[in-house]
Structure 1
């Protein structure tokens, strides 16, 4: 009988989720591939779970920052990656690259920085095989033409099952949405306007503005950046991966406190929803941003049985409505990170609602395995 395995692998402050579909062969789909705790954690899992040159049918990258992408170069070398899906690279993303490079010069030479600058060349420098690159268009900005016109662009909300799993009769959907998140960039610009009152901005913050102000007073620019709550991400791509036929999903976990207190075997079977909503670093704060997410997946919420708490459990990305769902929740965060992830207020809200959750950190015992039949 065909079955599906979903693994949330322990890589600390990052993300590495693998789904395997056992059809005429094993199909593998990955969501995020990186770690700030130690990229070797990602590399070890790649070697443990995949054979050399094993086919990876799709990799979804939530956003182009090191903690979600720095394991991709090793995956490209070790495995045969067929497709990579990522948020479209707009002028706003280029501005983000300039900011990151000024504050951390090493970022421009990192794989994430090189990928933002030229995705195709960044891949070719590692893997000369045929890796298909797909940019997911922003919601509400469908007319934008990317700088790299040779890359195929896909509208948010499309079901990519046929493209990834071929002509299989499996009732499954892969539905990404790319949300443009400008509130923190706007906050950064307002901070700059306060600190540089004589500087005239022609409109939205650009690479030119950041570079010029940095040359004028680098410390003020750094201070303006530090005053922005949370992380200065421009986009975050979410993904629904699941079925509408109410397949049964089982979870196993070796060390989570909830499992230890409720199940001697640390094994739990929840309701039939097999779908997982991967959220990456999505900013769900506030009514509008929550409504954007809710509306985008309006057709799928009844089939969501598992939800990733955004941005490693940061209070700056959390919305209490996210945990109103009857679902299993998980957080990907390092046990000794400096960002207070997951934040105590987030954990408190989850526990007060008596929700089932697990924190997947860098320890192997925190691995989550879902078996879907």
Structure 2
């Protein structure tokens, strides 16, 4: 259905006496009604059902809101725009576009293979909690977290907040929506800061939470974990009494294995001058053989990865992507981590400071901290010294952080339908999401490396979550990724000035959508789309 003038050339002007928003509303309703009638007359029951479904879901009570004469006029404009020859041409030209849900050119493509996706940036204040679900789009326009686990992939990126009273209710909502005891296919943890991980024990609670299959997090050694502890103590002395946090600092594999995951995957990032354990090769991780949707992990060889290696209780890899529903083939989805590593000089300064404060031999840090008892002693008896060493070595800088891209496979061959929150049409299937944890993306070198890793994904990224809650220390206002449609800051902290007014002003100058997700329920960002491969 080529709605001439409604999408390509802009909406017709509202009739005299009709408010512009009511006229836009009437035209969108008319598109769906006329489109449904046209599909029905052509024997296309699926197209008609889709139109009815969108109408009922997105425009409830339209009969009461729109005057009957206004509705007739809108319907007549829509009818006049329908010409079969133009319609077929419109279908061909829109096959690899992103279109709004009210544009009927997109829906006929759902007869082909399609994937539906929903994602939610939860309102947890100063922290991070993002949930997403992917499934085949047959009979499913926008999946819910409660969708059958046998046909969907459910993932979470970070789960924590500076204040537990903000994150715990959101965790309970997500678990209730999914169903207690239901599978969580992937849990991605960006880094070890408490405001990104302190909700994990509730999320994965044995009787109140979800069953996690695969946990993915950045590989960091004893020095970086102790740095994370020192940073936390500098902010709050109560960090030392957070059992899960201290367990993660001491031994992350043991801490996570307590929740029964099938596998734990450490991602090291770009090969370089860092210390990673020697380990034998192992087969690449994949989905469980229980009839659930298929996925596989692929080592990212073009980025210099050496494949998967087995370490104690976990798998380690330099770079990888998760290919879901076929992966790089048409009809799939991809989850692509990227690790932005801490400066090795900062880590070595921290080690040196601990050696001096503890009166250890120079160069003995690594050997000594391999001993679990010594690590325990450092975070209990000597936690103030650990905090002092961190402040000396790093100031208030962040350490290694794992970013995550979520978007369609083979997007250059795909088209997309934006269901919510609403975006203008685009000439490509631009519906991807990029979360950045607390990565430092301010220096030219860091930005260049980030762009190189996500070279194929950035053109298809619609939503970009600003690193470190929108801190000015982690982003350069003059080098924002301006091609995205929407920037998000998950933050609620006057103490840290998050998000930065300078960043927000620059986003406004770029004429991009900005969403500040706080602890207020109304600030949650709920996004949904359908991707098809014509």
Determine whether 1:59 maps to 2:222: no
Pair 1:218–1:52, CA change in 2 (3 A): closer
Pair 1:167–1:232, CA change in 2 (3 A): closer
Q: Distance in 1 between matches of 2:383 and 2:513?
A: 48
Q: Within 5 A, what are the aligned runs for 1:214-233?
A: 222=388, 225=391, 228=394, 230-233=396-399
8 Å Cα contact 1:34-1:42 kept in structure 2: no
Give deviations 1:270-305, integer Å, cap 9, x for gaps. Answer: 533111111111101111111111111112222111
8 Å Cα contact 1:43-1:74 kept in structure 2: yes
Determine whether 1:136 maps to 2:293: no
Deviation at 1:105, TM superposition (A): 6.5
8 Å Cα contact 2:441-2:476 kept in structure 1: yes
Aligned partner of 1:356 among 471, 492, 513: 513
Pair 1:177–1:146, CA change in 2 (3 A): farther
In the superposition, the TM-score normalised over structure 1's length comes to 0.79
Aligned partner of 2:434 among 277, 281, 289: 277
Give the match for residue 334 of structure 2. Answer: 173
Q: Within 5 A, what are the aligned runs for 1:328-367?
A: 328-334=486-492, 336-367=493-524
* SS of residue paired to 1:160: strand
Q: Distance in 1 between matches of 2:366 and 2:499?
A: 31
Count of aligned pairs between the two proteins: 351
Pair 1:190–1:135, CA change in 2 (3 A): closer
Determine whether 1:44 maps to 2:175: no
Deviation at 1:361, TM superposition (A): 0.9
8 Å Cα contact 1:18-1:28 kept in structure 2: yes
Pair 1:231–1:111, CA change in 2 (3 A): farther
Give the match for residue 464 of structure 2. Answer: 307
In the superposition, the TM-score normalised over structure 2's length comes to 0.57
Q: Distance in 2 between matches of 1:134 and 1:216?
A: 31
Give the match for residue 71 of structure 1. Answer: 199
* SS of residue paired to 1:288: helix
8 Å Cα contact 1:247-1:274 kept in structure 2: no
Q: Distance in 2 between matches of 1:242 and 1:56?
A: 18
Give the match for residue 277 of structure 2. Answer: 145
Aligned partner of 1:287 among 415, 421, 444: 444
Deviation at 1:149, TM superposition (A): 2.8
Give the match for residue 17 of structure 1. Answer: 130
Q: Distance in 2 between matches of 1:345 and 1:188?
A: 32
8 Å Cα contact 2:227-2:390 kept in structure 1: no
8 Å Cα contact 2:128-2:158 kept in structure 1: yes
Pair 1:224–1:113, CA change in 2 (3 A): closer
Unaligned segments of structure 2, at least 5 residues: 1-109, 137-149, 280-310, 370-374
Q: Distance in 2 between matches of 1:34 and 1:291?
A: 29
Deviation at 1:369, TM superposition (A): 1.4
Q: Within 5 A, what are the aligned runs for 1:75-224?
A: 75-77=203-205, 78-97=209-228, 99-100=230-231, 103=234, 104=237, 106-107=239-240, 109-125=242-258, 127=259, 129-141=260-272, 144-145=276-277, 149-156=312-319, 158-162=320-324, 170-182=331-343, 185=346, 189=350, 202=363, 222=388
CA root-mean-square deviation:
3.8
Q: Distance in 1 between matches of 2:334 and 2:162?
A: 30
* SS of residue paired to 2:160: strand
Q: Distance in 1 between matches of 2:488 and 2:345?
A: 25
Give the match for residue 529 of structure 2. Answer: 372
Q: Distance in 2 between matches of 1:232 and 1:206?
A: 25
Give deviations 1:104-131, integer Å, cap 9, x for gaps. Answer: 4743743132123222321343x3x343
8 Å Cα contact 1:18-1:29 kept in structure 2: yes
Q: Within 5 A, what are the aligned runs for 1:312-327?
A: 312-320=469-477, 321-327=479-485
* SS of residue paired to 2:481: helix
Larger radius of gyration: 2
* SS of residue paired to 1:86: strand
Q: Distance in 1 between matches of 2:527 and 2:383?
A: 51
8 Å Cα contact 1:101-1:108 kept in structure 2: no
Give deviations 1:30-84, integer Å, cap 9, x for gaps. Answer: 1111111333234333334321111111111111121111111111121111111
8 Å Cα contact 2:407-2:431 kept in structure 1: yes
Q: Distance in 2 between matches of 1:207 and 1:337?
A: 40
Pair 1:322–1:206, CA change in 2 (3 A): farther
Q: Which has the higher contact order (CA 8 A, sep 6+)?
A: 1
8 Å Cα contact 2:504-2:514 kept in structure 1: no
